[in-house]
């Protein structure tokens, strides 16, 4: 998926301010558009607000533990993006006159050469509109471009939405040998 600057005059598309650098304005199922671009330092409060808006189940699926509010150390870690070993794409949409984060995908390099661990999270109100596929698709492309050969995600076995998304994008799924309540989705990038 090559980055493109949309020139369409749809009100949904034109509502986004001009962007420099890598970005996409993507249509969603059932209408509307989102702006997808790399996460930036100025997105810190958006990231915190996004996490806070997630249902307790979605936060549990994202972090594999229950958190009520992300602390400063967690936000520091989430905001660490260098475009190579730590990458994150944020999806932004206009909600009630405000540009809000409605989804995010990210990967982090692993100790094993060529491997990266990924995660994707979509705001509960924005699920089932194709946003997870868009975010993870761009992340997969970036990981390939950066020379990674394998991408994987460790998820709750109860997270059926992630299972379906992983299957749709060609990941294989196995039970986590260290925790039978979790699964590992793995994708070869070669």
Any idea what the CATH number is for the domain that residue 153 is in?
3.40.630.30
**Domain presence at residue 2:** no
Range of the domain at 155: 11-188
6: tokens are 């949309």
Query: How many independent structural domains does the chain possess?
Result: 1
**Domain presence at residue 91:** yes
Nearest CA-CA partner of 88 in 48, 134, 38: 38
**Domain presence at residue 21:** yes
| Residues sharing a CB contact under 8 Å with residue 85, sequence separation 6 or more, in sequence order | 108, 109
Sheet hosting strand 150-156, strand order edge to edge: 24-27, 33-38, 86-95, 98-109, 115-122, 150-156, 179-188, 172-176
First and final CA of the chain: distance in angstroms? 16
pLDDT in tens, the chain (190 residues): 444 333 333 345 557 877 888 999 999 998 899 999 999 999 999 999 999 999 888 887 888 777 777 889 989 999 999 999 999 999 999 998 889 999 999 999 999 999 999 999 999 999 999 999 999 999 999 999 999 999 999 999 999 999 999 999 999 999 999 999 999 999 999 9
d(CA 3, CA 1): 6
**Domain presence at residue 76:** yes
**Domain presence at residue 1:** no
**Domain presence at residue 17:** yes
Nearest CA-CA partner of 103 in 139, 148, 149: 139
**Domain presence at residue 5:** no
**pTM score:** 0.88
């Amino acid at each position: 998926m090559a980055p493109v600057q949309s020139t369409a005059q749809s009100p949904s598309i034109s509502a986004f301010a001009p962007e420099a650098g890598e970005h996409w304005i993507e249509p969603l199922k059932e209408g509307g558009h989102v702006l997808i671009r790399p996460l930036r330092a100025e997105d810190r409060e958006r990231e915190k607000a996004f996490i806070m808006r997630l249902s307790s189940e979605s936060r549990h699926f994202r972090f594999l533990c229950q958190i009520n509010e992300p602390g400063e150390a967690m936000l520091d870690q989430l905001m660490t993006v260098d475009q190579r070993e730590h990458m994150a794409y944020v999806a932004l949409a206009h909600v009630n006159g405000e540009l809000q984060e409605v989804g995010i995908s990210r990967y982090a390099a692993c100790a094993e050469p060529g491997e990266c661990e990924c995660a994707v999270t979509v705001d509960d109100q924005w699920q089932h509109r194709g946003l997870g596929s868009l975010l993870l698709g761009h992340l997969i492309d970036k990981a390939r471009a950066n020379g990674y050969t394998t991408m994987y995600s460790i998820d709750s076995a109860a997270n059926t939405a992630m299972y379906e998304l992983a299957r749709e994008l060609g990941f294989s799924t196995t039970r986590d040998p260290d925790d039978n309540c979790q699964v590992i989705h793995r994708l070869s990038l070669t």
